[in-house]
Amino acid sequence: MKHKKTVLITGTSSGMGRATAVYLAKQGYVVYAGTRTPHKLFDIQSENIRPIHLDITDFQNIEKALLYIPKIDILINNAGYGLVSTVEDVTEEEMFAQFNVNVFGVLRLCKAVIPKMRHQNDGIIINISSFLGKIGLPLLTFYNASKYAVEGITDSLRYELKDFNIRVHSIMPGFFDTNFAKDNLVMNAKTFEEDSTYATLVSTLAPTIVEQINSGNDASEVAQMILEIIEKEDSPARQTAGDKAKKFIPMKKELSDEDFERRVRAYYHL
């Protein structure tokens, strides 16, 4: 009997994580759906979808959770959120929390899962990054920086794990309609005060970003791309998903940094 491949996904309570869990389960994969709120997945729980409590900021919790998963063939690092703040206004707590989830969380999961994959001489790691891991935007400096870091992690791990038959990839989504603007954006209070030094920038950019997220692509597009990466061994190191990513990433490659910056300023009226 053919072994059903086992997938561990972080951040599955909503959005891309939930959509991917459902989609892969329908394709016959056994999905351990990691989240701090497993009760939110009870409506989709099945033989192939197994909710599991997972706090990616706590390595001991991660190790405990992995005791319930006998084999991990695929790790999908999806959990994350976006801090909206200027550099001037950010607090130490906000700054650390952004990297603790988006960067250190990825590293903790990799650290815990890699020995299992190395022992079985097989595995796939897919990091859900962002097109903002290649493109800077004001007010999103810390989210940008965290996703730039995820891209660096992906690049380095591809070298580090090649000899153990472990593939590493990233997906850089654009803006997707996944309740991200409502559930996964954290606003710095000072930046959003009416008399903020950056009030003009906030009033110009923030509503546009929120509107683009709320009218973005469907999360199923990312789920389908993940399946393609899993099943095609020659998949590229990274792929873009969604209209904004497919627009800006190629443009970034074609233009000088200065010309690209001018395009972004014009597009977002900065």
The CATH code of the domain that includes 223 is 3.40.50.720
Q: What does the pLDDT read at residue 182?
A: 55
pLDDT in tens, 140-168: 999 999 999 999 999 999 999 999 999 99
Q: How would residue 20 be classed by pLDDT, with cut points 50, 70 and 90?
A: very high
d(CA 62, CA 52): 10
Closest CA to 98 of 88, 118, 84: 84
Q: 143 in a domain, yes or no?
A: yes
Q: How many distinct structural domains can be found in the chain?
A: 1
The residues carrying an active-site annotation are: 13, 129, 143, 147
Residues 6+ apart with CB under 8 A from 7: 24, 29, 30, 31, 32, 72, 73, 74, 75, 76
Report yes or no on whether pTM surpasses 0.85: yes
Other C-beta atoms closer than 10 Å to the C-beta of 13 total 19
Other C-beta atoms closer than 10 Å to the C-beta of 51 total 21
Range of the domain at 80: 6-267
Closest CA to 21 of 48, 40, 3, 2: 48
Q: Does the pLDDT of residue 180 top 70, yes or no? A: no
pLDDT in tens, 216-260: 778 889 999 999 999 999 999 999 998 888 999 999 999 999 999
What mean pLDDT comes out for the span 79-106?
Answer: 97
Q: How would residue 178 be classed by pLDDT, with cut points 50, 70 and 90?
A: low
Other C-beta atoms closer than 10 Å to the C-beta of 246 total 16
What mean pLDDT comes out for the span 16-22?
Answer: 95
- Per the listing, tokens 């994350």 go with 80
Please give the torsion angle defined by the CA atoms of residues 194, 183, 127 and 90, in that order, rounded to the nearest 10 degrees. Answer: 30
Evaluated on CA atoms 19, 51, 53, 43, the torsion sign reads positive
pLDDT in tens, 23-78: 999 999 999 999 999 999 999 999 999 999 999 999 999 999 999 999 999 999 99
Q: 1 in a domain, yes or no?
A: no
Q: 157 in a domain, yes or no?
A: yes
Q: Does the pLDDT of residue 183 top 80, yes or no? A: no
> Over the chain, what is the mean pLDDT?
93
Strands (E), the chain: 6-9, 30-35, 49-53, 74-77, 82-84, 123-128, 166-173, 185-187, 238-241
Q: 200 in a domain, yes or no?
A: yes
Q: 193 in a domain, yes or no?
A: yes
d(CA 62, CA 243): 34
